[in-house]
Each structure stands twice: as C-alpha cells, then as structure tokens.
C-alpha cells in the first residue's frame, strides 16, 4: 500500500540580485531575461548591493508580469519594513540558495508553428516557432552546488545527483541513479508531474509546491526505487517501483 506524507507547501520563487539602481537599465535587461525564461507570474525575491527606491522597483517588476514577494535582509530591508513588505533571511525556507546552474548534456525540443502576423504592408510574416515541450537529458552526476533547470518540460538524468544539488522541472523528473539532493517537479503548479528515481535519498522532494523533507520520507522507500506523485487531495504519494 502506498504511503502518504504531506508536510507543507513549498514556495517556488526566483531570486533577482541587483547591482545597479538604474531602473531603465534594469527594465531593459529583465524584460529580455524574464521573457526568455518563460517566468510570467513567477514569485520574486529581491536583493540589492546598492541603494534604490523599493516601491518603484516593485512596480517595475509588476509591469514585467512577475510578483515581488519579499526582499532579502540587507540594503532594501529598512524600506521594506517601512511599507510592511516581507523581509526574509539570506537563506529563506523554500527559496533555493544560489547554485551554479549547469546546462544539460542534450535537449530535445518539440516546437509548434506560431501564427503568422501582419505588418503594415498587410503581408503575412512568419513568427518564430513556439516551444511546446522540451526534455533535458543529462548523463553526468549533478554535483554539490549545481542546479539543473527545465522550465518547459521534463528532465532525465542517467546518473545520480549529489547532496546539495538541485533539479527543477516544470514537468516530470527521472533520475536513473541515487537522488540525494533537492528534486522539484511540477514547478509552476503542474500537479500532474511525477518523480521517478532508482534510489530515493533526497533532502527534499516537491511536486507543484507540495513538499516533503528527508526526515518525513517513508522509511521503506529510502534508498529504494520510488515513484512519487500527487493524489486528488494534492498529497504526495510514494510508491515502490518494481523492476
């Protein structure tokens, strides 16, 4: 029989670090970066190495279709507290510490043609294809301090992941080895996402924000092949994989 554990909801957020208070430059750079990363509606934690006006910065981010949720303790904290905006410690619970993001060994992309647009001459212009789904394949062990992210699909790792590493996918995650780090599937709210691994030793597993830490993982599944998914009540279900 499957075991069920639910210990809370995980906040999946992106962290934006600013080294300039030129809001025009920030807007220009972020508009490109956020668009390419498909982060519409994402929660954002802010930190800054320079003084700047927080209210204007929050409005700038709202205009870019992301949701500022907090600032990190530091230069912006005094302004945040003055307007009763949340301040979190440097290592906020549920917010990933800054890891080195690595590129997958290989990526397979399924594209759909974008609808043609019309310019002033009324001639149809073909737009760039739209990515429907992407799968990242990684055939190296993900080492401590490394992070592998796929915002538009699945991740398949043919080796394991070490403690202190992190795998984040909007879709499913397959780990054909030991899963010792943080495994986050369904990022962005995809409750149909699933996690499969050959040996479950994770520090944390999460699907669509529902998470379980190492101490709460059912003992009979530790170091065992395991399939993890959400049931209709949005609770994590752990099932043994039989080979």
What are the sequence ranges of the domains in the chain?
12-86, 98-109+132-238
The answer, yes or no, to whether residue 124 has pLDDT greater than 70, is no
**Tens digits of residue pLDDT in 104-123:** 999 988 766 655 555 555 65
The answer, yes or no, to whether residue 173 has pLDDT greater than 90, is yes
The answer, yes or no, to whether residue 95 has pLDDT greater than 50, is no
Question: How high is the pLDDT of residue 34?
Answer: 72
CA distance 61 to 27: 8
Question: How high is the pLDDT of residue 197?
Answer: 97
3-state secondary structure 130-147: EEEEEEEEECCCECCCEE
Question: How high is the pLDDT of residue 151?
Answer: 84
CA distance 139 to 169: 16
Q: What is the mean pLDDT of residues 172-187?
A: 93
Question: How high is the pLDDT of residue 183?
Answer: 93
Q: Of 213, 211, 218, 162, which is closest to residue 184 (Cα–Cα)?
A: 211
Question: How high is the pLDDT of residue 7?
Answer: 46
Match 């954002």 to its residue by tokens.
44
CA distance 182 to 216: 14
Summary count for the chain: helices (H), strands (E) = 3, 20
Q: What is the pTM of this model?
A: 0.62
Question: How high is the pLDDT of residue 65?
Answer: 85
Q: Give me 24's structure tokens.
A: 């025009």
Asked if the domains 12-86 and 98-109+132-238 are classified in one and the same CATH topology, the answer is no
Q: What is the mean pLDDT of residues 212-228?
A: 92
For the chain, list the strands marked E by DSSP: 3-5, 13-18, 43-48, 67-72, 87-88, 100-101, 106-112, 117-118, 124-125, 130-138, 146-150, 153-157, 166-169, 173-179, 182-185, 195-200, 204-207, 210-213, 226-230, 236-240
CA distance 54 to 98: 22
Match 């998914």 to its residue by tokens.
229
Q: CATH number of the domain at 12-86, out of 3.20.20.70, 1.10.150.310, 3.30.70.260, 3.90.700.10?
A: 3.30.70.260
The answer, yes or no, to whether residue 132 has pLDDT greater than 80, is no
CATH 2.160.20.70 fits 98-109+132-238, yes or no: yes
Q: What is the mean pLDDT of residues 176-193?
A: 90
Question: How high is the pLDDT of residue 129?
Answer: 56
**Tens digits of residue pLDDT in 14-70:** 778 888 899 999 998 888 777 655 566 677 888 888 899 999 999 999 898 888 888
């Amino acid at each position: 029989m499957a075991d069920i554990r639910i210990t809370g909801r995980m906040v999946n957020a992106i962290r934006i670090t600013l080294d300039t208070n030129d809001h025009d430059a920030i807007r220009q750079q972020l508009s490109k970066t956020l668009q390419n990363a498909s982060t519409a509606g994402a929660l954002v934690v802010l930190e800054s190495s320079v003084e700047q006006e927080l209210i204007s910065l929050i409005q700038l981010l709202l205009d870019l279709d992301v949701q500022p949720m907090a600032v990190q303790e530091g230069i912006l904290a005094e302004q945040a507290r003055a307007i009763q905006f949340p301040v979190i410690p440097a290592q906020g619970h549920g917010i990933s510490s800054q890891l080195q993001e690595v590129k997958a060994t290989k990526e397979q992309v399924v594209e759909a043609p974008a609808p043609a647009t019309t310019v002033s001459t009324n001639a149809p212009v073909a737009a760039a294809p739209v990515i429907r789904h992407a799968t990242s394949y990684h055939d190296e062990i993900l080492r401590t301090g490394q992070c592998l992210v796929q915002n538009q699909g699945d991740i398949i790792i043919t080796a394991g992941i070490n403690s202190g590493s992190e795998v984040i996918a909007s879709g499913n995650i397959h780990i054909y080895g030991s899963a010792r780090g943080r495994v986050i599937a369904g990022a962005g709210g995809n409750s149909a996402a699933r996690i499969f691994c050959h040996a479950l030793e994770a520090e944390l597993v999460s699907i669509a924000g529902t998470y379980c830490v190492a101490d709460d993982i059912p003992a009979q599944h530790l170091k065992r092949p395991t399939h993890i998914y959400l049931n209709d009540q949005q609770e994590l279900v752990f099932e043994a994989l039989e080979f």
